[in-house]
A and B are shown apart, each in its own frame.
Chain A
Amino acid sequence: MVSEEEFGRYETAWCPGCGNFSILKAMKKALVMSGLAPYEVLFVSGIGQAAKAPHYLNAHVFNGLHGRALPVATGAKLANPRLAVIAESGDGCTYGEGGNHFLAAIRRNINVTLIVHDNQVYGLTKGQASPTSEEGFVTKAQPHGVLSAPFNPLAVAVTMRAGFVARGFSGAVEELATLISLAIAHPGFALVDVLQPCVSFNKVNTFSWYRKRCATLPPDYDPTDWEAALHTALEWGEKIPTGVLYRNDRPSFESRFPVLDKGPLTNVRVDRESYGEIIAAMT
C-alpha cells in the first residue's frame, strides 16, 4: 500500500498562498488513490512555476523545455507504455508555446495525463498575459489590456473529442485529487485543467473570485454526451463548472503498435533473421 509520505516533502520556490501547493497535495493524494508507487510514475514538465511541481515529489522526472512537455511525454510513453506518464505544466507552457503539441496529443489520444496549472497569467516571467488571460486584463506587457480573445482549452479539447476532459480548482483539493486519479485511470489522453490563483500577478482571478464561481457538475451530468459537454465547456462567467466534462473510449495511441504489447522498447532485440530477409529482397 502506497502512502502520501512516500512521495516526500520538499522545500519549494513558490510564493506563500500559491495555488500550486494545493495542486501538489491533490497530486500526491491522486497517486495514492491510483495505487502507484513513485517508481511507476514518470512526470514530464515544461518550464514555468507549475513545471517545477515534479521536483517537489518522489517520482521519475523529466523537466524539459518550455512548451515541450507533451512531445517528451509522448516519446516516453511510446518507449515504455508500462510507465504512468503525467505531463504537468502551466497555461502559458501548454496552451501558448506548446499549443501545437496540445492539439496533436489530443488527436493521437496518447495515454498521457496532462495536468495544466491554469492561473491565467505568466508567473515565472513576472506577470505577462497568458493564452487564457481574459480580454482587457492589464499587465506591464499588455498596458492597454489583453487584446486577444482567451483560449478555451476545454472547449477545444471537447470539440476535438479528447479522450478525457476535466476541470478542477486548487481550492477543492479532494475533488481535484479524484479528478486527477480518474484522469490517470483513463486509458487515453486525459486533460485536467486546474484553475488556481496567482497571488503575485493575477489580482483579478483571485482565490475568492474562483471560489465564488467554481461549481461541481451535478451527479446526473452525463460526460459521454458530447453535445452537452460542448455546452458545458463553453460556460464561463458567474458559474464555472468543475468535474469531468467529457470522456470517451477511443483506443489509445500506443495500443495501435503491436510491438508495444511486449513491453518497453528497450527490451526488444534486433531480429537478425528478419533483417537478413529484408536485405535479401534488396539484392
Chain B
Amino acid sequence: MDSSPTILIGGAAGQGLLTVGQLLSRVLVRSGFHIVVTQDYMSRIRGGHNTFSIRMSSAPIVAPRETVNILIAFDGESVRKHLSHMTNDGIIVMADNVQAETGNHTCLRIPVATLGKPAMFNIMAAAIVATLLDLDDGLVDKTMREELPDSFDEAAAALQAAFSWARNTGVSRPSLRPAGVSAPRMMVNGNEALALGAIAGGLRFAAFYPMTPGTSVMLTLLAHADRMGLVVEQAEDEIAAVTMAIGASFTGAPSLVSTSGGGFALMGEGVSLAGMTETPLVVIIAQRPGPATGLPTRTEQADLEFVLHAGHGEFPRAILAPGSPEQCFELAAHALDLAERTQGPVLILTDQFLADSYRDVAPFRAETITPVYPLELTPHDEGVYARYALTDTGISPRALPGSGKKLVVADSDEHTEDGHITEDLTIRTKMVEKRLRKMELLRNECIRPAFIGADNPDLLFVCWGSVLGAVTEAAEELSAQGIKAASLHFSQVWPLVAESFLPLLERSGAVVVVEGNATGQFARLLRRECGFMAQVRINRYDGLPITPEFILRQLAEKELIS
C-alpha cells in the first residue's frame, strides 16, 4: 500500500460519517500519524452524498490527494462514485447488505446485523479500518469513549464485536508504521485553529450570524467562552454582528466576527465604519463558491477582490490568508494585534477546505502569543481628549470610554480631532491623509510571502491561502522528477509590498499562479500592484479543493510538463 494512503468515508448526510471520520482521525494522530482531512458535503441535513477523507502518512503531509486506498462505503452510491479513484490494491469496507459492483477490489463486507445494530456500521467500520492499519484496539476504545460519551456503551459493544470479526476474518495488515512521533500532536481544523489563536491573542468579544463555512469558528469560541471569559453572541443579522463587534471594540474588548462571502456582503458598511471611526475589528471570511448562495458547503477563493474593496470610501486595511491550521492560529492572534495597533479593520480570508480540514499540529501554546490588551488611560485624566489627534504616523492615542474621565467621541461622519461632526473641508483633507498614513505601518508589518524551494527555479508556483499544501507537494513532485520547481505562498495578500518578492518573481522561470477562482484574482492583483504579469494561471472553480494532482494535470495540459 501507498506510504500515504487515503481513507475515504462516503455516505448520505445523517448516517454518521463525521463520527467515524473524526474518531479515526484522532486515533491516527494519537498513533503518531500525520493527517490531512478533506470534507466534501452537500447543503442538506439528510441524504445526498457526503465524503470525509483522511490522508495519512508517517512523513509530514500538507495536501489532500485524489486516489483512494481504503473506502468506507455507507451505501452503494459511495462505491459507484469512488471506485474509479481507488488504487489497484484498494480495499472497500461496507455492510454486507449493501449492493454494489466492487470490481477486483478486496471487499470486506461487515455482517452488521450479526455484530449489532445496523446504525452502528460507522463504529464497526472504524474497528475494521483500525485493524487494517494495525492501530491499537485500546486506543480506539479510549478515543471513542471521549468522542461519544453519551452513546458509548452501545457503541463499545459494536466496536468489540467488529474487532473480533476482523481478527477471525484475518483482515490483512499493510506494512504501515507510524512516524514514532514522541511528542503528542493535536488534531485541529482551520476554523478551530482560528478560534484558538484568537483566544490566545486576547479576544474578548465575538458576534456572528450563522453561515457555512464560517460558523464553526464561533462554535469553537462558544465551547470555551465561559471558561476563558469571552462574550459571544449570535446576532439578528450580519450587520448587527459587525456593528456589535465595533461597539464592543470601541469600549475596549478585542473583537471579531466570522462569516462567509454572502454574510460579509452585509458587513460592508461595518468595515467602512471601522475604517472611519478607527475602531479595531477582525473579520474572518471563510469563502465558499458564489455568486449569491452559490455552493454553500464547497470551497473557493473568489472573494479576494470583494474583500479588498469592501466598504465605501478609502481607508487602510490588511488582509491575511492563512495556508494551514498553524497559520490560522498565528494569524488570528496577529490580526487582533494588528487591528489594535492600526485601529482599523483586519480581514482574514480562509475557505471551506481549510475551515473543515483537520490536521495534526504541535499543540498550540498560549505562551507563544502576546495577547492584545487595549490601552487604558489613567483613571483621573481630565480635559479634552482628541480621539483623532493628527499625528505623524496617523495613529492617534486611543482611550477607552469608561476607563477615565476623558470623554471619548467617535463619529462616522467626517470629524474634528476631538471626534465631533464637521464639514470643514480643510479638516476633511487632513483626516483623509491621517487615516491613509496608517498604511505605512501596515506595509511595515506586512508578512512577507514564504518561498519554499531552491533559488532561481525554472518553475515558480505562486499561491495564497489554503492552496499552500497542494502547491508545496506539487513542487516537491516536480523536483523529484528533476524539474527545478519552487513555491511562493502569500499568507498576507494586502497590502502587497513588492520589494519583498518582486525580485524573486523576476529571477524565476515560468511563474504559475495557482488559485481557487475562475478569473485569476490574485494574479491580476499582482499585475495591478507590482506590474508583474504571471505567464501561467491555474484556476479551479468547481467547488473542490486544489490538489497536487490537479496542478500537475493542468501543467501537462498547458504542456509545461510532459
Binding site for B on A (CB under 8 A): 37-40, 42, 44, 47, 52, 55, 58-65, 67-68, 70-80, 82-83, 100-101, 103-104, 257-260, 262, 264-266, 268-272, 274-276, 278-280, 282-283
Given contacts A42-B251, A58-B407, A65-B412, is CB(A274)–CB(B227) below 8 Å? Answer: yes
Contacts of A72 in B (CB 8 A): 243-244, 246-247, 250
0/1 string, B248-277, CB within 8 A of A gives 1: 111111010000000000000110010001
**Bound form: Cα–Cα A268–B412 in Å:** 28
B404 at the interface (CB under 8 A from A): yes
Residue of B nearest to A44 (CB): B247
Contacts of B46 in A (CB 8 A): none
Instruction: List, sorted by A's number, 8 A–B pairs whose CB atoms are closer than 8 Å.
Output: A61-B410, A68-B240, A79-B247, A101-B236, A266-B204, A271-B229, A276-B366, A279-B186
**B412 pairs with A63, CB closer than 8 A:** yes
Residue of B nearest to A39 (CB): B405
**A75 pairs with B245, CB closer than 8 A:** yes
B188 at the interface (CB under 8 A from A): yes
Q: A90 to nearest B CB, angstroms?
A: 15
**Bound form: Cα–Cα A280–B19 in Å:** 21
**Bound form: Cα–Cα A83–B408 in Å:** 13
What range describes how many residues of B lie at the interface? 35 or more
**Bound form: Cα–Cα A282–B188 in Å:** 8
Out of B184, B229, B251, B405, which one reaches A268, CB within 8 Å?
Answer: B229
Residue of A nearest to B241 (CB): A71
**A64 pairs with B402, CB closer than 8 A:** no
Binding site for A on B (CB under 8 A): 29-30, 184-188, 192, 196, 199-200, 202, 204-205, 207, 224, 226-231, 233, 235-237, 239-241, 243-253, 255, 269-270, 273, 277, 363-367, 371, 373-374, 376, 400-413, 419-421
Given contacts A47-B412, A265-B231, is CB(A62)–CB(B420) below 8 Å? Answer: no
Residue of A nearest to B400 (CB): A266
**19 extra A-B contacts, CB within 8 A, seeds A39-B406, A64-B273, A278-B228:** A37-B405, A55-B411, A60-B402, A60-B407, A61-B409, A64-B277, A68-B273, A70-B240, A75-B255, A79-B252, A83-B401, A266-B204, A274-B227, A275-B199, A278-B196, A280-B363, A282-B192, A283-B186, A283-B363
Contacts of B250 in A (CB 8 A): 62, 72, 75-76, 79
Q: Is the interface of A mostly helix, strand, loop or mixed?
A: helix
Given contacts A79-B205, A83-B401, A266-B373, is CB(A279)–CB(B248) below 8 Å? Answer: no
Contacts of B251 in A (CB 8 A): 42, 75-76, 79-80, 83, 264-266
Max count, chain B CB within 10 A of own CB: residue among A38, A65, A77, A274 = A65
Contacts of B407 in A (CB 8 A): 38-39, 58-61
Max count, chain B CB within 10 A of own CB: residue among A73, A75, A269 = A75
**A266 pairs with B403, CB closer than 8 A:** yes
Enumerate the 5 nearest inter-chain pairs by beta-carbon distance, A residue then B residue, closest first.
Answer: A75-B247, A266-B252, A60-B401, A72-B247, A75-B244
Contacts of B228 in A (CB 8 A): 270-271, 274-275, 278
Out of A37, A58, A258, A280, which one reaches B226, CB within 8 Å?
Answer: A258
Residue of A nearest to B406 (CB): A39
**A64 pairs with B363, CB closer than 8 A:** no
Contacts of A266 in B (CB 8 A): 204, 251-253, 373-374, 376, 400, 403
Given contacts A78-B233, A83-B401, A265-B204, is CB(A64)–CB(B252) below 8 Å? Answer: no
Residue of B nearest to A43 (CB): B409
**A63 pairs with B247, CB closer than 8 A:** no
Residue of B nearest to A272 (CB): B366
Out of A44, A55, A58, A275, which one reaches B366, CB within 8 Å?
Answer: A275
